[in-house]
Structure 1
Amino acid sequence: MFILLAKKKFYAAIAAILGLTMGTIFFMGTRTITVGQNNIQAPLEKVNVAQNVIALTVNVDWGEEQIPKMLEILEKDQAKATFFLTGRWADKNSELVKEIAAKGHEIENHGYSHPHPDQLSVEGNNQEIMKTEKIIERTIGKKTTFYAPPYGEKGESGVRAASEAGYTTVLWTLDTVDWQPASNVDLIVQRVVNPKTRFGVKPEKKGAIVLMHPKPNTVLALPIILEKLKQEGFSFVTMEELLSLKIDN
């Protein structure tokens, strides 16, 4: 009992120093430390697996003209991906949503209007997620269960809203940063095939989650990425498949 009280006082002291409330969540990689009684699931940044598998994810709020090209490349290389769609995009591109699903790729939730989740309340984030869930379920007959927060924001309100709605929040291990104008094909390939952290250490690619967007340079980089990673012995799975392969630490 004494140890438990000491831990609570310790976390409370941290919260006080940082000017945070007792409901604040501290993210350490994929683990979550909670202060008080507010236990929610931490975002996924990587999955511990035994197999040489990687999950390719594509966040979509624009770029519909690039999607058919991406689907063609993925099909040619027998690779599966997870497409996180905003509700407003899915609503305007329902036939393309159906095509993505028909090709065997996973379709998941990217919120409705691509706001900054950290600037919304829990209820506001819940509305974004649920509105998109209904559109996608109406379109392909399947409920979404994974949520990729816009801008990769992982503040409490967005993560809590997703967790309380039964979702797993997904971030990434390797970011192509392909949305930046300076991201040419070589840079995009390097950030996935030969990645380095800011400390110069190569992160483990087994069980990695790769973040992409439907950009022209990404389309050009994709077959190169797939070929190089296949040469390293990797195969490409959806988020659902990746979670099914998870092993305990």
Structure 2
Amino acid sequence: MTAPKKRRLWFTISCAALLILLLNYQPIQHYISVVKNKQVVTADSALDEKSRLQSLIEQWKEGKEEQPVDAVVDPTWKAIPGYNGRIVDMEASINKMLAAGAASPEMLVYKEVPPAVSLKDLGAQPIYRGNPKKPAISFMINVAWGNEYLDSMLDTLDKHKVKTTFFLDGSWVKRYPEEAKKIAARGHEIGNHAYSHPDMKTLSTQRIHQEINRTQEIIIKTLGIKPTLFAPPSGSFNQRVVQIAHDPFQMNTIMWTADTVDWQKPPPVYVIRKISGLMGNGVLVLMHPTSTSEKSLDQLLTIAKQKGLVPTTVSEVISSNRIP
């Protein structure tokens, strides 16, 4: 064997011997043992922490979970939507608390439980209100005239960061497509208010179809939106009207809980006093683009919020979704 090869062989043997000595050296063995034990302790601690949090959450969720409320047909209010219940999501709550490194009842995570009976299960029924447990209200606006007040009302809604529902007369959309586009562009929900503001309950079946269908067509053509809500002009309807809106047009017929009667031009202070006294969970307030409503809307929205209500669209009020 050559000298260089011998030197390489002795170097390799020396390194191996040194490594064996180091691995058997007590401090090194102790360090390895500590690292291994720490890993075991950490895993055990995580399990213990999850168990501790689960026990806390079981205590904290007492009285905080709610059963869902079924939709019903009421003798007075007709179709009343259901309202989702809520239960604590144990896994999501634990993960949230572990990630935050803190735990409190305010950090509980919930998931919604839908009712066994929903609004769609009730069939063709008029709707006058949302569920009495839902802290939401809608200031819905029927439009067949009153263009001069629209911009101001839209600005007030923007000021309060509120989206509501505008029920549009089909002939109005045809005459004023840019005004209709302005409403939709602000993010408001669009509903069907028939075509020529007729007394719907006096119409033939064919004419009811025509009034609803022409409005659907002009709204779809002008705005690219297909309404799912129908508000009969002047609140005039019968079961035939409700049935036709429901099938074939797949729309809910919407009435109201509280009426501003703003078309009679009452003083704004009268409307504010009247409607503020009627505000509550699930209330639908009927308005038009009138001078009275223009001057009342800002204060009505403020009062609604002070009462803990969320002003929103009709679709949201009548849905079973919970308000955060």
TM-score range, shorter chain: 0.7 to 0.9
In structure 1, the partner of 2:207 is 124
Aligned with residue 180 of structure 1, among 264, 271, 279: 264
SS at match of 1:66: helix
- 2:324 is the alignment partner of 1:241: no
- 1:149 and 2:232 are equivalent in the alignment: yes
Partners of 2:305 and 2:123 lie apart in 1 by 36
For each residue in 1:81-109, what CA deviation from the matched residue of structure 2 results, as whole angstroms up to 9, or x when unmatched? 10001100011111111111111111110
Q: Which residue of 2 aligns with 1:217?
A: 292
Which of residues 185, 189, 193 in structure 2 aligns to 1:110? Answer: 193
Equivalence for 1:136: 219
Report deviation, 1:246: 5.2
Gaps spanning 5+ residues in structure 1: where?
1-25, 33-38, 196-203
Q: Whole-Å Cα distance in 2 between the matches of residues 72 and 148 of structure 1?
A: 24
User: Could you tell me which amino acid in structure 2 is paired with residue 162 of structure 1?
Assistant: A
In structure 1, how many angstroms separate the alpha carbons of the residues matched to 2:234 and 2:134?
A: 29
How many Å separate the matches in 2 of 1:28 and 1:243? 17
User: Which structure is higher in helix share?
Assistant: 2
In structure 1, C-alpha distance between the alignment counterparts of 2:318 and 2:304, rounded to whole Å: 20
Change (3 A) 1:206 1:168: same
Q: Percent of aligned pairs with the same residue?
A: 36
Query: Unpaired segments of 5 or more residues in structure 2?
Result: 1-73, 81-121
CA distance in 2, matches of 1:119, 1:51: 35
Give the aligned partner of residue 67 of structure 2.
none
Q: Offset of 1:80 from its aligned partner?
A: 1.4
Point out which structure has higher relative CO (alpha carbons under 8 A, 6+ apart): 1
Cα RMSD for the two superposed structures: 2.0
TM-score, structure 2 length as denominator? 0.61
Q: State which of 187, 202, 207 in structure 1 corresponds to 2:282.
A: 207
Q: 1:222 to 1:142 in 2, by over 3 A?
A: same
- How far the C-alpha of 1:213 sits from its partner, in A, is 0.5
- Compute the displacement of 1:139 (Å): 1.1
Provide the residue aligned with 2:77 in structure 1: 29
AA partner of residue 170 (structure 2): G
| Aligned 8 A contact 2:304 2:311 in 1 | no
Find the counterpart in structure 1 of residue 180 from structure 2. Answer: 97
- Give, as a single letter, the amino acid of the residue that structure 2 aligns with 1:110: H
Rg larger for: 2
Aligned to 2:129: 46
Q: Corresponding residue for 2:15?
A: none
Instruction: Name the residue aligned to 1:5.
Output: none
Q: For 2:140, what is the secondary structure of its paired residue? A: strand
Work out whether residues 47 and 246 of structure 1, in 8 Å CA contact, stay in contact via their aligned partners in 2: no
Q: Stretches of 4+ moved more than 3 A in 1?
A: none
Distance across 1 between alignment mates of 2:145 and 2:217 = 20
Q: Deviations over 1:137-178 (max 9, x none)?
A: 111111011000011012123212212221100000111111
User: How many pairs are equivalent?
Assistant: 207
Deviation at 1:49, TM superposition (A): 5.6
